[in-house]
Amino acid sequence: MKKLMRVGIIGGGLMGREAASAFARWFVLQNFPVKVELTAVCDLQESLLEWFRQIPTVKLLTKDSAELLRSPDVDVVYVAVPHHLHEKIYLQVLAAGKDLLAEKPFGIDLAAARKIEQAAKASGRFVRCSSEFPFLPGPQRVVAAASPENISKLGKVLEINAGFWHASDLDPTKPINWKRQNQFCGEIGVMGDLGMHAVHIPARLGWKPKRVHAQLQKIYTQRPDGKGGLAACDTWDNAILHCDVDIGDQADIPMRLEMKRLAPGATNTWWIEVLGTDGGVRFSTAEPKSLWTFVRGKEQCWQRTDLGHGMPFPVITGGIFEAGFPDCFLQMWAAYAAEWAGELNGKFGCVTPAEAVLSHELFAAALQSHLTKTVVPL
């Protein structure tokens, strides 16, 4: 008998609907131990609730998150709301005795993240945080190559670089939204928006930053407010974090993390590279089929492997077909469901509360580093 995971969504915007799309394709997962059903949705906007009406399993549509949390038909709640609401709503989910897939950045700041982590521990509920790109085939190959068992094959590690780049904010006429305002997005700005994506794999591989020097930039300080005027755009646009990490007995390896809303030409580009003296790996969603592997033989070369659809959780999709955003988002949910059911079986799991707190510790230190123009220890 497959276990049934009944999900409620609070926040049916961009990501809430992406989750619904993943559940609607759940049957593509092969021999998967958990069935999923979207049973309830909460959003403040009538038009979004109307959109969810087309999903037959949804029994409750409400503007009141407390009503959703009282529903006996909800086991797990996915919360995808602006950052200033994370702490309040995540704590309500836990108090209602539900499990939680939280959205990043897991609270508006470090203090909120720590409170959520403590509440999660005290509640005994199953809590994870969203970050989907590592579930693509390319990043999984990077994780395997850089895992503690394999990393010695890369020789001495020279450096690690990872980032997440957006470009649409280069257009100064793009209207303001909550992600561009500190009161809703948080003082950490772009780090809260894009940072967890860059941190997930390094954190999972145990590469904890020991110190950070951060360069933060605010480029556009005003944007159209959508009503004919201008509004203050006070968040950090771009962040480059220069960190030192220890890997095994190798100390102080440079690790650079980049989170940018102003990266020329990059629509939603997540990338990572691990470079060593004998080998290296490199992947970017800009080339979603390509895994680049550095080989130092008699000649040095970067080899390109054409990746197929080798997902952590097998699906019916042909093995040679390309993987994209909806695929990795489905895989992330599969990882959540498998772990929720005690069936992860050593596969790569979603971001843990401790990893989310670690990311906030780094972002808080980065703010301090930028402010004081110093290197800040963690």
Ligand X SMILES: NC(=O)c1ccc[n+]([C@@H]2O[C@H](COP(=O)([O-])OP(=O)(O)OC[C@H]3O[C@@H](n4cnc5c(N)ncnc54)[C@H](O)[C@@H]3O)[C@@H](O)[C@H]2O)c1
Site membership for ligand X, residue 169 (CB under 6 A)? no
In the list 3, 28, 33, 48, the residue contacting ligand X (rule: CB under 6 A) is: 48
CB of 57 to ligand X, least distance (A): 19
| Cα–Cα distance for residue pair 196/140, rounded to 1 Å | 17
CA distance 218 to 239: 9
Tokens of 234: 């006070």
Our CB check for ligand X shows the closer of 245 and 360 to be 360
Which one of 8-16, 109-117, 147-155, 253-261 is the stretch in contact with ligand X (CB under 6 A)? 8-16
Tokens of residue 14, six digits: 């961009």
Figure out which of the listed residues 104, 260, 309, 370 binds ligand X, where binding follows CB under 6 A. 104
> CA-CA distance, 35 to 78, in Å (whole number)?
16
> Which residue of 43, 117, 258, 355 would you call a contact of ligand X, by CB under 6 A?
43
Where does residue 130 rank: exposed (0-12), middle (13-18), buried (19+ CB within 10 A)?
Answer: buried
Pairwise CA distance, residues 324 & 223, whole Å: 31
Within a 10 A sphere around the Cβ of 141, how many other Cβ atoms? 17
Tell me the backbone φ, ψ of residue 329, rounded to 5 degrees. -70, -40
Q: Does 15 bind ligand X (CB under 6 A)?
A: yes
11 or 288, CB closer to ligand X? 11
Rounded distance between C-alpha atoms, residue 95 and residue 102, angstroms: 14
Question: Does the protein bind ligand X through residue 107 (CB under 6 A)?
Answer: no
Within 13 Å, how many C-alpha atoms sit on residue 210's CB side?
8
Minimum Å distance from CB 120 to ligand X? Answer: 17
Q: Which residue in the set 45, 221, 267, 368 belongs to the binding site for ligand X (CB under 6 A)?
A: 45
- 359 scored as a contact of ligand X (CB under 6 A): no
Q: Which residue is nearest to ligand X (CB)?
A: 13
The site string for ligand X over 62-91 (x = CB under 6 A, - otherwise) reads: ---x--------------xxxx-x------
Nearer to ligand X, 104 or 261 (CB): 104
Between 12 and 189, name the residue whose CB sits nearer to ligand X.
Answer: 12
**What is the rounded CA–CA span in Å between residue 55 and residue 215?**
45
Q: What binding mask, one character per residue, do residues 115-134 give for ligand X by CB under 6 A, x or -?
A: ---------------x-x--
232 phi, psi to nearest 5 deg:
-70, 130
- Structure-token pair, residue 56: 């037959």
Q: Which is nearer to ligand X, 326 or 377 (CB)?
A: 326
Q: Which two tokens stand for residue 138?
A: 């390319």
Q: Which is nearer to ligand X, 91 or 275 (CB)?
A: 91
Least separation, in Å, of the C-beta of 31 and ligand X?
Answer: 26
Sign of CA dihedral 326, 340, 335, 294: positive
Distance, CA of 186 to CA of 168 (rounded, Å): 20
Considering only 10, 91, 160, 203, the residue that binds ligand X (CB under 6 A) is 10
Q: Which of 5, 19, 20, 42 binds ligand X (CB under 6 A)?
A: 42
Q: What are phi and psi of 146, to 5 degrees?
A: -100, 5
Please identify, using beta-carbon distances, which residue of 89 and 119 lies nearer to ligand X.
89
Q: Is 103 in the site for ligand X (CB under 6 A)?
A: yes
Number of residues that bind ligand X (CB under 6 A): 22
Q: Is 238 in the site for ligand X (CB under 6 A)?
A: no
The 187-226 site mask, x for binding ligand X (CB under 6 A), equals: ------x---------------------------------
Name the 3-class secondary structure at 240.
strand
Question: Given the complex with ligand X, which of 61 and 376 has the nearer CB atom?
Answer: 61
Report the 3 state secondary structure along 164-216: EECCHHHCCCCCCCHHHCHHHHCCCCHHHHHHHHHHHHHHHCCCCCCEEEEEE
Q: Quick count: other Cβ atoms within 10 Å of Cβ 324?
A: 11
Residues forming contacts to ligand X in the complex (CB under 6 A) are 10-15, 42-45, 48, 65, 80-83, 85, 103-104, 130, 132, 193
